[in-house]
Amino acid sequence: MDNELIEEMEREQQLLDRFKKSEGQSELENLMPKGYRMLQKMGYEPREESTKEVHDQEEKQAEYRKHISESSRQKSLEKTLHNMQKIAFAMAGDDEIYTPGEDPRDFNVLWRGYIKVLNDAAKEPAGKSAPKQKAVLEQSDSELDEDQEGGTIKDLREDPELEIFDEMTTSEKISKLNVFLRAEVYYCYYCGIRYKDEEDFYEHCPGINKEDHE
């Protein structure tokens, strides 16, 4: 069968499917060029997608778009959280007293996760540090207590306070950090400004939320 005729028929079939719901089948076929009717007489039956197949395909596409949108939103929130923790760490003065390897529990839980990131970055390469970390994890509590007195790794111990904080959603963590920055150091993350005092802050900052700054 001639490929050009088949391609022509398929284009015409698409037009037919588009208007089939509102027009009679025979009337629409009469509107099609001779090539379409000739191929039908030759026994060519193009496959028609059912309404369910079309619906399923549209549903999958919608779910995929939703997934991509949510993934992008979550990455944006995580970036905001990291930036807020870094700013709070600095504005609270902890950047002046922190030394690599310090116990994260000695710092505010709001940016304790950031301390762990700093500690991880300061550790030896993974291949060298892994055996040491494994040995620490296999020690008993009493041995760990002795090691801590000697200044070994501390951040492998349990941290119930951080566990509770980590159970919050990223948005909830951001909200708590936002309140801290605004109330304690007069800094608005969305303005990108540290105001000189409370009066200056509330006079010039448009609001607590990101939307207030748009």
Instruction: For residue 57, tell me if it sits in a domain.
Output: no
How high is the pLDDT of residue 214?
87
Helix (H) or strand (E) holding 188: strand 187-188
Per-residue pLDDT reduced to its tens digit, 75-84: 999 999 999 9
Instruction: For residue 129, tell me if it sits in a domain.
Output: yes
Q: Are residues 90 and 19 in the same domain?
A: no
Q: Are residues 46 and 119 in the same domain?
A: no
Q: Are residues 37 and 101 in the same domain?
A: no
**Residue 194, SS3?**
strand
> How far is 45 from 33, CA to CA, in rounded Å?
16
Q: Are residues 91 and 146 in the same domain?
A: yes
Q: Are residues 163 and 108 in the same domain?
A: yes
Closest CA to 38 of 7, 11, 9: 9
Band (pLDDT 50/70/90 cuts) for residue 115 is: very high
Q: Are residues 153 and 95 in the same domain?
A: yes
CB 91 within 8 A of CB 194: yes
Instruction: For residue 212, tell me if it sits in a domain.
Output: no
Indicate the residue among 167, 184, 203 that finishes a domain: 167
Instruction: For residue 64, tell me if it sits in a domain.
Output: no
Torsion, Cα of 157, 161, 164, 167 (10° steps) = -60
Instruction: Say what percent of the chain tops pLDDT 70.
Output: 60
Q: Are residues 90 and 163 in the same domain?
A: yes
Structural domain tally of the chain? Answer: 2
Q: Are residues 152 and 90 in the same domain?
A: yes
Q: Are residues 103 and 160 in the same domain?
A: yes
Is pLDDT at 87 greater than 90 in this prediction? yes
Residue 27's domain spans which residues? 3-50
Q: Are residues 94 and 46 in the same domain?
A: no
Q: Are residues 37 and 96 in the same domain?
A: no
| Beta strand residue intervals within 21-179, DSSP E | none
Per-residue pLDDT reduced to its tens digit, 143-191: 444 444 444 444 456 889 999 999 999 999 999 999 999 999 999 999 9
Instruction: For residue 117, tell me if it sits in a domain.
Output: yes
Q: Is the dihedral of CA 186, 188, 191, 192 positive or negative?
A: positive
Instruction: For residue 204, tell me if it sits in a domain.
Output: no
Q: Could you tell me the pTM of the whole model?
A: 0.57
Instruction: For residue 89, tell me if it sits in a domain.
Output: yes
Instruction: For residue 208, tell me if it sits in a domain.
Output: no
